[in-house]
Amino acid sequence: MFIPDPEQEKAAILHRYRSLLTMLPPGNPDDKILVRKAFHLAAEAHKTMRRKTGEPYIFHPIEVAKIVAAEIGLDRISVVCALLHDVVEDTEYSLAEIRRIFGEHVARIIDGLTKIEGIFDQASSSLQAENFKKMLLTLSDDVRVILIKLADRLHNMRTLDAMPKHKQLRTASETIYLYAPLAHRLGLYTLKTELEDLALKYTEQEIYQTITEGLRDTEKERKRFISKFILPIKKSLALQNFRFRIVAREKSVYSIWEKMKNKGIPFEEVYDLFAIRIIIDTPYEKEKVDCWSVYSIVTDHYRPNIDRLRDWISMPKANGYEALHTTVMSHSGRWVEIQIRSERMEEIAEKGFAAHWKYKNGDPKGTVTNVDRWLNRLKDLLKNAESNAIEFMEEFQGFLFTDEIFVFTPRGELRNLPVNSTVLDFAYAIHSDLGNKSIGAKVNHKLAPLNQALKSGDQVEIITSQKQAAREEWYGYVVTARAKSQIKTAIKEEKRKFAAPGRQKLENIFRQAGIEVNDNNINKLQNKYNYGSVIDLYYDLALDLIGMKEVRSTFHTLTKAGWFSSIITRPFRGRATEQETLSETIIRQMHLQPSNKADDLDLTKMSYEVSDCCNPVPGDEIAGFIEPNEAIRIHRAKCPVAIALMAKYSNRIIKTTWIDKESVGFPAGIRITGIDRKGFAKEIISVIAENMDLNIKSLHLEANAGMMEAVIKVYVYSTNNLHLLINELKKMPDIKMVTRIEV
């Protein structure tokens, strides 16, 4: 049993607090008094609380405050808010008391960091999504809410080992789905990288271990190569009197895994495990010239790959990132990525938003940057956030996961847009009225339709008409959240004009049909024809798209519903399908336990389905999700669909584990690549069917230019069984790679 020593704990708390004080940025002396006051209040408020690790809870807000001060570089007010971020949510202190002691500014940030209380309808909402939406909606007031929340999430991820497995998966899934992309978009590269790596540690434990061990095993050889590679560059830079430093940055575990997945290669075949960064100390006005001079020096020694040159100095990324990137061939025949940037660019790359504002505040022109434009687009999305929290969360996630193109207005102004943006996206990016009135465009002086995709360098002029209005089909024309939101708003406004006449028409039809006019009957008609809102129903009534025929059909059908449903729900006594048999077997093989918020459900009366997006096999880590129809769908825990669900619906998670692992065959897929030769297929079948005694569901083999690729679906009993099969196949001569695939 853990028995704390009060004196030791008090000393440890004070040590951490003093360490925090050394990290505080310079500022108003009164702010330092506020920091001390916030620490004492937080220590008092949390004095009886402990984390899952057994440590005093106050360790957590202190560590979050350290991340805010040292790793993000925020001001002292942000440190105060980091120390207090859990006080209102977890203790007896109210927001009003925080406002009285620390002022309105601090209270507003704390409110944004405090989770929503209450119970939401599981079928239509999610407490996670509501909290995330609330946090983001504070961005218009103060972006520091999001930055402190990212620091909070990072410390929680660093201490996730103490949590039970299902909570590790949920938290890691949220992190990879939303928080890491958000850190990336705010330019917090260091935070983003650590969040991704920590999330991978819990969602793909074996892969994380394999890559970290591989990096450790190859570290000495890498260091020798780097020292030899940079030596001639260092000499030349010194001769040119540059003030510089050169660092070698190891690629993150997550980025290495992404490359392995995308290229279908093992760790041993990933050669660009690091990047060389050349950072020069030069005045702002000479940055561009000096960076290109360094590029010239590098290419004097090593031949560049012109296709891999990236100039993010002339056109910075949306998150403010600036650098020159090039890839050169070393003298040993190995490609090496080189990043060239100034000290200012380095700070922005590492600390993102906070550094961006530090330098922007010193800009006498107050230049509008890509970061400003992106934040303005985000604020537009938040202003129009009328959708429910889940829809908002999905829109926002799509807003984060986009590469960019650069296009020009007729006057030559540069605009950033997500890849695959269309003419109509561009119009809405300029102004909502321009988008609503668009009828076409001139792209590079040639006529183009609204749905034409744009590419970097295009110059776009929008053609409008005062008679034009937003249309439903436009949703399929756009990819940006801003455009979708503004189209939705415009269509709603247009439909509201028809609400009163539509309602009047419906009341007349109801009276003629002898149906009582009430909300219940209107809802029945709305649900019968799947209208998203009653406004949509009134709109179609006003335009005579539905009428008496549909009303009579609805209420006639409803009177027969009881008789009809009694027929169609009778149990079918014929032969069970393969999927039904599989599902029944899986139920016997799994132990199901609901989360706290779903513990009133009778799991024995619910139906279960195995997800065909990932086809879990006994031995896989699995999770069950209660769907709106109260069926439980079983996913592999690392399935991308499962990760998204865990990020959005923690209240619908069912803890799920395997019991019996060897009673029935489950479908699994493998991909084999190797050098083609006669008799290959026969040998593969022999290993599967004879050596491993497994049944083959399907086999597709294709040979091309001396190489062979086979995709095989087999029935296995467990993940251990599958791994044994993969290892047996790898022993075959001329086979280069065997990997598991989704089936």
CATH number at residue 684: 3.30.70.260
**The pLDDT value given to residue 39:** 95
Task: Tell me the backbone φ, ψ of residue 94, rounded to 5 degrees.
Answer: -100, 165
CA distance 292 to 155: 39
The answer to the question of residue 377 being in a domain is: no
In this predicted structure, the answer to whether residue 402 has a pLDDT above a threshold of 70 is no
The answer to the question of residue 389 being in a domain is: no
What pLDDT, in 10s, does the model give residues 24-34?
A: 877 777 778 89
By the 8 A CB rule, do 341 and 322 touch? yes
CA distance 307 to 200: 31
Q: Are residues 182 and 270 in the same domain?
A: no
**The pLDDT value given to residue 580:** 43
Nearest CA to 143 out of 417, 307, 360 is that of 360
By the 8 A CB rule, do 173 and 646 touch? yes
Q: Are residues 196 and 335 in the same domain?
A: no
Q: Please compute the mean of the pLDDT values over residues 515-536 and round it to a whole number.
A: 81
3-state DSSP call for residue 664? coil
Q: Are residues 15 and 162 in the same domain?
A: yes
The 3-class secondary structure across 395-428, one letter per residue, is: HHHHHHCCCEEEEECCCCCEEEEECCCEHHHHHH
CA distance 478 to 451: 7
**The pLDDT value given to residue 561:** 37
Output the CA–CA distances (angstroms, integers) from residue 239 to 213, 232, 234, 286, 299, in the order listed: 39, 11, 9, 18, 16
The answer to the question of residue 488 being in a domain is: no
Instruction: Name the pLDDT band for 256 (thresholds 50, 70, 90).
Output: very high
Q: Are residues 443 and 587 in the same domain?
A: no
- Its domain, for residue 411, covers 402-479
- Last residue in a domain, options 310, 336, 360: 360
Q: Are residues 72 and 198 in the same domain?
A: yes
- Number of domains the chain is built from: 6
By the 8 A CB rule, do 41 and 93 touch? yes
CA distance 164 to 592: 16
Output the CA–CA distances (angstroms, integers) from residue 148 to 28, 156, 197, 243, in the order listed: 20, 12, 20, 35
Side-chain half-sphere CA neighbours of 488 within 13 A: 18
By the 8 A CB rule, do 430 and 461 touch? no
What whole-number percentage of the chain has pLDDT above 90? 31
Residue 708: how many other CB atoms lie within 10 Å: 20
Beta bridge partners of 593: 655
Query: Environment class of residue 368 by beta-carbon count within 10 Å: exposed (0-12), middle (13-18) or buried (19+)?
Result: exposed
First and final C-alpha spacing in the chain? 47
pTM exceeds cut of 0.75: no
Query: Environment class of residue 569 by beta-carbon count within 10 Å: exposed (0-12), middle (13-18) or buried (19+)?
Result: exposed
Q: Are residues 458 and 554 in the same domain?
A: no
CATH number at residue 187: 1.10.3210.10
CATH number at residue 441: 3.10.20.30
CA distance 146 to 151: 9
Which residues have a catalytic role annotated? 89-90
In this predicted structure, the answer to whether residue 391 has a pLDDT above a threshold of 70 is no
Q: Are residues 139 and 75 in the same domain?
A: yes
Q: Please compute the mean of the pLDDT values over residues 639-658 and round it to a whole number.
A: 73
Q: Are residues 444 and 511 in the same domain?
A: no
CA 578-583-587 angle, to 5 degrees, is: 150
**The pLDDT value given to residue 486:** 87
Average pLDDT for the chain: 81
CA distance 638 to 652: 17
- Show the tokens assigned to 215: 């990096």
Nearest CA to 544 out of 508, 491, 490 is that of 508
- Show the tokens assigned to 522: 């209107």
The answer to the question of residue 62 being in a domain is: yes
CATH number at residue 308: 3.30.460.10
Beta bridge partners of 72: none
CA distance 233 to 299: 9
In this predicted structure, the answer to whether residue 700 has a pLDDT above a threshold of 90 is no
For β-strands 274-280 and 335-342, DSSP reports them as parallel
Q: Are residues 22 and 130 in the same domain?
A: yes
By the 8 A CB rule, do 702 and 631 touch? no
Q: Please compute the mean of the pLDDT values over residues 268-281 and round it to a whole number.
A: 89
The answer to the question of residue 390 being in a domain is: no
By the 8 A CB rule, do 416 and 406 touch? yes
Estimate to the nearest angstrom the gap between the alpha carbon of 448 and the chain centroid: 33
The answer to the question of residue 387 being in a domain is: no
CA 561-567-572 angle, to 5 degrees, is: 145
Q: Are residues 559 and 599 in the same domain?
A: no
3-state DSSP call for residue 488? helix
- Last residue in a domain, options 658, 687, 703: 658
The answer to the question of residue 380 being in a domain is: no
Estimate to the nearest angstrom the gap between the alpha carbon of 110 and the chain centroid: 24
Nearest CA to 106 out of 148, 70, 137 is that of 148
CA distance 386 to 395: 12
Q: Are residues 227 and 323 in the same domain?
A: yes
What pLDDT, in 10s, does the model give residues 193-221?
A: 999 999 999 988 888 999 999 999 999 99
CA distance 528 to 537: 11
**The pLDDT value given to residue 539:** 84
What pLDDT, in 10s, does the model give residues 124-153?
A: 445 666 666 666 666 556 778 888 989 999
- Last residue in a domain, options 538, 565, 592: 565
In this predicted structure, the answer to whether residue 628 has a pLDDT above a threshold of 80 is no
What pLDDT, in 10s, does the model give residues 414-462?
A: 787 888 899 999 999 899 899 999 999 999 999 999 999 999 889 999 9
> Ranked by mean pLDDT, which of 93-102, 141-150, 494-503 comes out on top?
93-102
The answer to the question of residue 369 being in a domain is: no
Q: Are residues 16 and 37 in the same domain?
A: yes
